[in-house]
Structure 1
């Protein structure tokens, strides 16, 4: 194995307790492991790469990583989500749900999304996709192919087919109802168990597996009980979306007489293996104490909720009480720097000032917090013995302004595409902003074609099957009727 060295104006190291900043720093790794972080490495090195005016740091960990062609952006300023056909309608359910994409297209959307994650400095991802566009949930064979895509690109992933025993749908009168299929949910868990046993540790450990039930309100008691038991048996991480909407909280309280976190506690699903996006709607101190006592982690995704005017009541107070936070993107763009910036600003608005949350708290959540949530002390840090998951962010961009503190400049003005190089497990997967082996224009054109198919599928789910073009309003009205005969994406973004 070759011993390689990286240099830059600034390096984020780890002293065993916290991140520390080295000026004119060096990182040396051999194979998949870091052997030195600091200055003046005394040993032999097979080759050096000097990135100059840049920040070398640990790769970001995204535990609600968009693995999809994001559909949430279609709801932006677009009126009633029920009317625009994103969620299922009673008519659609009666006709029989169907896949919006072919099997190959389902795998492609992960290739597109994983490329975006790498481009934004994310080196470890636990993907999330929407079930609204599926016949039911995800499948074993599909994720066997997705694991191959992740390994080819070099992205460290925690994978598994999402499973569920129910789906919410809209009645014609505008009320929300729930369709259940217990047998299908349990069969999905069987697929998830099979995938775990076949793929956990595959590709020299780059691919790990996890149990990924959909949401607390789409899982029956039996499915959650079986999930908890299997998590204990396999020592498997479990990610379960909860406390993300008032309707979800009301439903769980009506059915089970307790809050979502109280329900998970009864089921032994609040453990150090539990990763819980998003935690916005908790029931006071009792719920927070449940998280602390169980050791579960909250996966904070500030940007996607801020778009709808929702926010965590206090990042700083929860963190100070001992709740571990990881970060997730959950939506386009796959930019954790943007989520750190929005998370910082939102926290200070919610907390009434700057005293409870600082920028480093969000950076820690994207690195050390994510590693803790996964039970990994070899990720989220640059230190001897840690995995060589390393990112290089350019500090040359004029948009960053005069440099004061490299991390603060990036948090205040940086973009994910300031990441110019990425190493995962010691392999350089991106150089000069180019992910190895990926034809960006071809990738973007295919994504555009599939996105139009996804948009057309909204007509099937909306009541009355309206023309799909009428379901999406542009921010600025069209000046003529050109859009009537042309797709909304008529201008090729990459000719």
Structure 2
């Protein structure tokens, strides 16, 4: 058992120490051997050695690293469906694009309100379990009637508050979607009025919930993928984000389908189109950006990256889900050297930010064919400082006086880690998200020794599987040609069931 803190808000200064502490000074993270962190009332008051003042309690975590919590700009908040497309394609044949026949029949919600609330609890708990202290949730709309609802995000706010997770919340909305026509061609289907109503509802949600739970709950605007949005929706989203003083997120330049659709509809690349609408700003977070011009996924010449950079946009780099789809940004070093702010997102199962950092580092070195293309701290900075910049928070992603006490204690004694000379490099080589031993958010313990109050990992896992199985059974209704489940999803090897 590791040392324990009292649950809930702590009275008086609390001092934490360990073999390593990742503090922050002179604009960068600094390693403090046998360092100390002191916090009170949710705020870091000291990071260094030999704290001179009195404290209410001291906790020594021994062979561990005390570090700032991760900021996840694209945090999985449902039961992951990317596993269904992992070895099953193309997407338009496998239920990842709605067929016209499903639209004619009338799309429907494949989860109940109770199930939607549960999957938020399940997903948010896993974010904390992996050292993520600030989350901007993302979920698939493929199994929804149209978009996310205010009711589920009111429930999500309650869940985040109860679990003590810092979250930026707002229901996703859209004015259209991709559709597979009866002849197998792929087109678009728009209902702008419905999408604008969704935006109005999202704005009302932001006004009600911004700053909830003493600032633990913040809000954002979340139009769905860029090819599903009309110009009016995007202009109004950008204006509303400025008026509300919240970030907004737009998935963009991430697929050949999107690139082709935007060019067909608007006669330009996605960044060119967004720029022409006047919506680029430092408030905008763009997940993925793997299909910008001048890259393997989009070899056409162009200035996509320069446009995004000059607009002050932040990129949410999600290397694991991109790599599973055969893609990567080209490259992490290039984006950084151009001056783009890069944060990190998980976007898929598992909610393991360390795995994403490791994948991002390896992809960068492979794409560049250069082991010196990026270092461990470059990715770690993106998951902490880059994410904090993306949401305009100088008080997150670092442990220095005045910062919020969002802290993760990483176990450095686990056998799989091997020998340690540098804790960050060690985590980037052999660490796992579940090496997070203790998670503290806003000065309150959210997890200790892998335990989160009210979370039964075994029972929740069984419930999630049953809920997922029911959703998968409905897939034929929204898959082109409506084949049986067995034809939509392959098996790695032949399945031979016992005789009846």
- Counterpart for residue 81 of structure 1: 91
> Out of 402, 421, 425, which is 2:438 matched to?
421
Kindly report the root-mean-square deviation, in angstroms, between the aligned alpha carbons of the 2 structures: 1.3
Q: Is the partner of 1:435 in helix, strand or coil?
A: coil
- Counterpart for residue 310 of structure 2: 293
The answer to whether the 8 Å contact 1:36/1:383 transfers is yes
1: distance between equivalents of 2:124 and 2:96?
23
1: distance between equivalents of 2:257 and 2:170?
27
Cα distance, 1:436 vs. partner? 2.1
Cα distance, 1:197 vs. partner? 0.4
The answer as to 2:485 corresponding to 1:468 is: yes
The answer as to 2:269 corresponding to 1:269 is: no
Cα distance, 1:481 vs. partner? 5.0
Cα distance, 1:472 vs. partner? 2.1
The answer as to 2:12 corresponding to 1:2 is: yes
- Counterpart for residue 492 of structure 1: none
- Counterpart for residue 136 of structure 2: 126
Query: Which shows bigger deviation, 404-413 or 76-85?
Result: 76-85
- Listed as ranges, the matches of 1:242-253 within 5 Å are 242-253=252-263
- Listed as ranges, the matches of 1:203-242 within 5 Å are 203-242=213-252
Q: TM-score, normalised by structure 2?
A: 0.94
- Listed as ranges, the matches of 1:108-257 within 5 Å are 108-257=118-267
1: distance between equivalents of 2:498 and 2:232?
53
- Counterpart for residue 297 of structure 2: none
- Counterpart for residue 358 of structure 1: 375
Query: Which shows bigger deviation, 401-410 or 420-429?
Result: 401-410
Any unmatched runs of 5+ in structure 2? 1-10, 295-301
Distance 1:223 1:481, change over 3 A: farther
- Counterpart for residue 412 of structure 2: 395
- Listed as ranges, the matches of 1:363-442 within 5 Å are 363-442=380-459
2: distance between equivalents of 1:30 and 1:81?
50
The answer as to 2:78 corresponding to 1:68 is: yes
Cα distance, 1:111 vs. partner? 0.6
Cα distance, 1:76 vs. partner? 1.5
Q: Is the partner of 2:34 in helix, strand or coil?
A: strand
Deviation sequence 1:455-480 (CA, Å, 0-9, x none): 11211112343332443222222233
The answer to whether the 8 Å contact 2:150/2:202 transfers is yes
Q: Is the partner of 2:172 in helix, strand or coil?
A: coil
Write out the 4+ residue segments of structure 1 that deviate beyond 4 Å after TM superposition.
none
The answer as to 2:57 corresponding to 1:40 is: no
Cα distance, 1:440 vs. partner? 1.3
1: distance between equivalents of 2:485 and 2:264?
36
1: distance between equivalents of 2:330 and 2:440?
36
Deviation sequence 1:349-378 (CA, Å, 0-9, x none): 111212331111110000000000111000
Q: Is the partner of 1:466 in helix, strand or coil?
A: coil
2: distance between equivalents of 1:6 and 1:324?
31
Cα distance, 1:336 vs. partner? 0.6
- Counterpart for residue 5 of structure 2: none
Q: TM-score, normalised by structure 1?
A: 0.95
Any unmatched runs of 5+ in structure 1? 486-495
- Listed as ranges, the matches of 1:260-339 within 5 Å are 260-284=270-294, 286-339=303-356
2: distance between equivalents of 1:3 and 1:298?
37
